[in-house]
Structure 1
Amino acid sequence: MGNLMYYAVVFLVVAIIAAVFGFGGVAGTAVEAAKILFWVAIVLFVISLIASMIRRV
């Protein structure tokens, strides 16, 4: 899961750099990729948290 957050941050940085240089299409695509990876990481974290709680019972 750590890798997903790393890639989300990388895409966010790419989007910021692309926006600064005026590449709107690239920036928009990178932002969307960062959003998707962020939410996938959050969902996997919640699933992992629930699974560990169930295992303890």
Structure 2
Amino acid sequence: MKLPDSELIIPEFLLRVMVANGIGCLDVVSITLAVIEFCPEDGKMHVRNKVIAK
């Protein structure tokens, strides 16, 4: 399932915030693993964190 480009705003925003806060590279990489899933029950998009523990 390919999501519209507009759905990528959330992880990109979080990535920019983390970079602005000077968080290390591992944290920047981990946030890109966030997955946005569509929930048919409520018709909304949800961000599910897939970050692997460091």
Band of TM-score, shorter chain = 0.3 to 0.5
Which structure has the highest helix share of the two?
A: 1
Larger Rg: 1
Q: Relative CO higher for 1 or 2, CA cutoff 8 Å, sep ≥ 6?
A: 1
TM-score (norm 1): 0.37
TM-score (norm 2): 0.38
